[in-house]
Amino acid sequence: MPRSDAGGGVSQVPVPRLARAIVVVVLAGLTSVYLLAGSPLAIVAFGLQLVYVLRSLRRFRRPWLLILQALVGYAATLGFGTSVGLLGFLGGSLLLTPAWPLAPLVAVSAAVVGPADPAISMVLVALVVYGLTRLTDRVEEMHAARLAMALAAAAEERLRIATGLSDGLGRGLTAIATGVRSVMDRPEGSVEILGEVVGTARGFLADARNAAAGYRATSLVPEMTTARAMLTAAAIKAETRVGHSEPLGPAGALLASVLREVVTEAVRQNTARTCVIETTTADGMVRLRVSHDGARTVEDEGLADLARQLSQAGGRLTTGLSAEGWLAVDAVLPESPAEATEDPGAYRLSVALLTAVLVGFSIKALLFVPANLVVPAAACLAVIVIMQIRWISGRHMGALALLVLLAYLPIPVFGRAWLGSAGFLAGPVLLAFPWAVAWPLVGCVMASVAVSAVLLGLPLPLTVNFTASTLVTGLVVYGLLELARLVKELQEVRQALARSAVVEERLRAARDLHDLLGHSMAAILLKCELARRLDPARARAELEDVLVMAEKAEADLRVVSGGRPAMSLAEEGESARSVLAAADIEVELDFAHEELSPEVENVLGTVLREAVTNVLRHSSARYCLITTVVEESVVRLRVRNDGVRSSGGRPGSAGIGNLTTRLAVLDGGLGTVREDGWFELTAQVPSFSPVG
């Protein structure tokens, strides 16, 4: 039978199949009790019950099925003297259908026909049948809907992003286009209006970058990717080990700042040859450790400020030497609590059913306890019930040892009434150990019950009944506990998938804001600044370019809001030539590629935009060469400029990490070379890469 391991992780068996297998085994265990009592019709009742459990038989769920179950149940109990507990199959089936009001009538008939003990068994069997079947249905629903929930969360986040960007950045673009048209229509006030346009463009660019940083702040992994790219570009071997779960929320933003500061300083000092970046989580804290074999001390005002921020957030930042003599920077912060968005109804149902069944079994036991011992017996059973319910969230050997004592020590006091309590031990044993260990232990528990029954002088049929009931009770407890755990686990999985989908959507928006809209706004700002310095005739030509760029930026904004990008590498090349020429940079454009897939056009167009933006922002270039070449179905884009600044500047950018991520999706890669005052960025990707 498929099962979860002792640590709670599910085996290779799919969760819905595991849940159905648990129900079938438990129902088979219940059936075995009536078979041992000499009722072959119990097999028929079991087969009919499977219609409500197995997906392949659900087409037979019809009103006539309930009639057939009733005929079998009452024929067995009234015609062949089978225990009325068998009617629990009928009662459970009624509870699963619109005919559920008839279930209490079946319970009443069981109480009329049989004594109290079997009548209680009938109610318990009905609850077990209903509860296990409903929980299995819920497990299947939650498992099937987990991806749909993630997609819905992503769509909701995309809509929220689109609304926010439209309200803020969209209005800024409209203001820029309106201002430029005013200058073109009324040249006499151009200087003042252009000044306002430049101010708007500068603010717009800052807003776009802040928005991108805000979307990235929920996740530390992209910053680790960027750091790795920066280190590799500086010829520093980088190792990253991710030991945390995303998203980290505010904690991720602070840790990303620490990582950025340490890596930037390591690249600036240029003394390290290897750098290790790792994250771990323990006891509600997330830890970032950055260590390298470069400088042995850190004198960085940025880190001192970050240390204060971490302290205010309940964390700490320390620096020192590792055992290997490397400089190590450790940042520790409390994990941001995850938002609980899942409906807990199914989990509460499982706990309520488990409680009802445990209480029912306890009442059955108390029926055979002498009146003067009812109170202490009830107290012991209450402890057992509470421990069983707590087992949903953990399996502890200490608690298991206590259950052993509660199962065996009271037997000399309470006699045969206490033999059934061994079933409360069998269930947790099945949960606590792997099958290879659990089943022999359960066999030992059953054997101990048989021995105890013999020592108490019970007749053979009663001894067999108690022994079999131990296994059945254990299976029922195991089934309810395991299904409760599966429901809770699926809730957590759904929440994790939804959070991951939201994080991915935010990171996508951050990449597009930085790579697409950021470039467009930098180009608009440059053109507007240039127009302010030119005569009206030449300025008009530049402003016409600004209007074209504003339209392009509006298209970029739609992409950031969730639209599909559609770039042309050739058009991006001409745009790059125009923007760089406006900055007095000579451009040589040599494209040797032919037809490319749309995905490749998009990603290489994005790479070219980022490369041009970095030439404008981070270099003093006077010449830039942009080329493409296709070799063995691989297209390579190279952007080379002669404007490398001194190593004292801040190297790298979030764009490098973004581009690395985009290219990796298409099985591509990014490389950088810096030598003799020249900087070259190379991106390569299969020319007809499919979407990853």
The whole-number pLDDT of residue 2 equals 43
Tens-digit pLDDT profile for residues 379-422: 988 888 888 777 655 556 778 888 889 888 888 888 888 888 88
* Confidence band for 214, pLDDT divided at 50, 70 and 90: low
The whole-number pLDDT of residue 619 equals 72
Looking at residue 325, the DSSP 8-state letter turns out to be S
Exposure of 89 in the CB half-sphere (CA atoms within 13 A): 37
Alpha helix ranges (H) inside 534-636: 536-560, 569-582, 598-618
- Residue 4 in this model has a pLDDT that exceeds 70: no
The whole-number pLDDT of residue 165 equals 61
Instruction: Output b/e per residue, 397-436; b: 16+ Cβ within 10 A.
Output: eebbeebeebbbebbeebbbbbbbbbbbbbbbbbbbbeee
**What mean pLDDT, rounded, does the chain reach?**
78
The whole-number pLDDT of residue 339 equals 46
In this chain, the answer to whether the domains covering 250-334 and 566-692 adopt an identical fold is yes
Q: How far is CA 102 from the centre of its chain?
A: 43
User: In sequence order, what are the residues at sequence separation of 6 or more whose Cβ sits closer than 8 angstroms to the Cβ of residue 330?
Assistant: 287, 288, 289, 317, 318, 319
CATH tag, 250-334: 3.30.565.10
The whole-number pLDDT of residue 105 equals 92
- For the chain, give every domain's residue range: 250-334, 566-692
- Residue 71 in this model has a pLDDT that exceeds 90: yes
* Confidence band for 514, pLDDT divided at 50, 70 and 90: low
Residue 542 · residue 578 · CB < 8 Å: no
The whole-number pLDDT of residue 102 equals 92
Q: Dihedral through CA 658, CA 506, CA 263, CA 272, nearest 10? A: -50
If you average pLDDT over residues 583-590, what whole number do you get?
Answer: 85
Residue 666 · residue 673 · CB < 8 Å: no
Alpha helix ranges (H) inside 98-220: 103-113, 116-165, 171-185, 190-216
- Residue 217 in this model has a pLDDT that exceeds 80: no
CATH tag, 566-692: 3.30.565.10
CB-based burial of residue 548 (10 Å sphere; 0-12 exposed, 13-18 middle, 19+ buried)? middle
CA–CA distance, 26 with 427 (Å, rounded to integer)? 11
